[in-house]
């Protein structure tokens, strides 16, 4: 089970405080979204713009990291960097799903910067790298062929197993309307306990949820 953008049911999305709390509560995994600042620092935010989730305005890539840090999330923390999150989870019993947010802005070179940082960090589990933008994953594969890559899509996939094999993926991350359970798949975003129980019983590889505390209860009930 992956905390989608951390624990947005209780903390601002993609906030370090939410990631930290989820780790302390024993979550299996954390999903988060990565962009690059103007000076090529990977930072964690869902949108390409800072307007919705901070007290600032504008595109992430128009600010240097130092400039970006002046803006605040709703809990008054600055926009987290990938380096901060890697430090937070290093040595902890949690898996990361790192989503490259490259479907709208491609941030040339983001793959190498991110891979280098991840490879320099001692993590207990291999990172799952995901993106809606398949070329990003193909670039990553050239840099690090042995990592785990999952393509994200909210569209129906006609032949998922063939797609996974052809693109050398580890699996697909599908919107919960599109779950097919025919390949390794993780499903987003699942906050309904009935849907979650159904998916868990189908044996999906994982779910992304905004409310992992409730979903952990569902998991425990199914185990009893
Ligand atoms: O990785 C699953 C999910 O995060 C994909 O959608 O828009 O929430 O990043 P989004
Ligand atoms: Mg995401």
Query: Using one digit for the tens of pLDDT, what is the confidence trace for 98-151?
Result: 999 999 999 999 999 999 999 999 999 999 999 999 999 999 999 999 999 999
Pocket test for ligand 1, best of 8, 13, 33, 187 (most atoms within 8 A of CB): 33
Percent of the chain with pLDDT over 70: 98
ipTM higher than 0.95?
Answer: yes
Q: What's the whole-number average pLDDT of the chain? A: 95
For residue 56, what pLDDT is reported? 98
Does 2-223 carry CATH code 3.20.20.190?
yes
Q: In this structure, what token pair is assigned to residue 167?
A: 């693109």
Contact 99, 32 (CB under 8 A): yes
DSSP-derived 3-state class of residue 46? coil
Confidence check: pLDDT of 25 > 70: yes
The structure's pTM equals: 0.97
Percent of the chain with pLDDT over 90: 88
For residue 185, what pLDDT is reported? 87
10 Å CB burial of residue 9 (0-12, 13-18, 19+) is: middle
The residue nearest atom 3 of ligand 1, judged by CA position, is 188
For residue 59, what pLDDT is reported? 98
For residue 184, what pLDDT is reported? 76
* Ligand approaching nearest to the C-alpha of 152: 1
The counts of H helices and E strands in the chain are 8, 9
DSSP assignments along 181-194, one per residue: -SSSEEEE----HH
Region 197-215: mean pLDDT is: 93
Measure the CA–CA gap between 105 and 39, rounded to whole angstroms: 15
For residue 202, what pLDDT is reported? 86
The residue nearest atom 10 of ligand 1, judged by CA position, is 46
Confidence of residue 203 (pLDDT cuts 50, 70, 90): confident
Pocket test for ligand 1, best of 45, 52, 148, 188 (most atoms within 8 A of CB): 188
Ligand 1 center to residue 224 CA distance, Å? 30
Confidence check: pLDDT of 175 > 70: yes
Confidence check: pLDDT of 179 > 80: no
For residue 177, what pLDDT is reported? 75
Confidence of residue 75 (pLDDT cuts 50, 70, 90): very high
């Amino acid at each position: 089970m992956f905390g989608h953008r951390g624990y947005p049911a209780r903390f601002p999305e993609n906030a370090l405080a939410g990631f930290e709390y989820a780790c302390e509560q024993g979550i299996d995994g954390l999903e988060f979204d990565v962009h690059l600042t103007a000076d090529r620092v990977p930072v964690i935010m869902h949108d390409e713009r800072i307007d919705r989730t901070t007290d600032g305005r504008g595109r992430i890539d128009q600010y240097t990291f130092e400039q970006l840090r002046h803006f605040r999330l709703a809990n008054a923390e600055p926009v987290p960097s990938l380096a901060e999150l890697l430090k937070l989870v290093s040595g902890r019993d949690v898996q990361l799903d790192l989503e490259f947010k490259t479907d709208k802005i491609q941030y040339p070179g983001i793959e190498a910067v991110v891979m280098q940082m991840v490879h320099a960090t001692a993590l207990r589990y291999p990172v799952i790298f995901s993106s809606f933008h398949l070329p990003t994953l193909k670039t990553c594969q050239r840099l690090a062929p042995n990592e785990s890559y999952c393509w994200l899509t909210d569209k129906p996939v006609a032949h998922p197993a063939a797609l996974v094999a052809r693109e050398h993926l580890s699996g697909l991350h599908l919107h919960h309307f599109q779950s097919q359970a025919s390949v390794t798949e993780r499903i987003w975003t699942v906050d309904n306990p009935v849907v979650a129980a159904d998916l868990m019983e189908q044996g999906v590889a994982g779910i992304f949820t905004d409310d992992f505390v409730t979903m952990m209860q569902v998991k425990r009930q199914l185990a009893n």
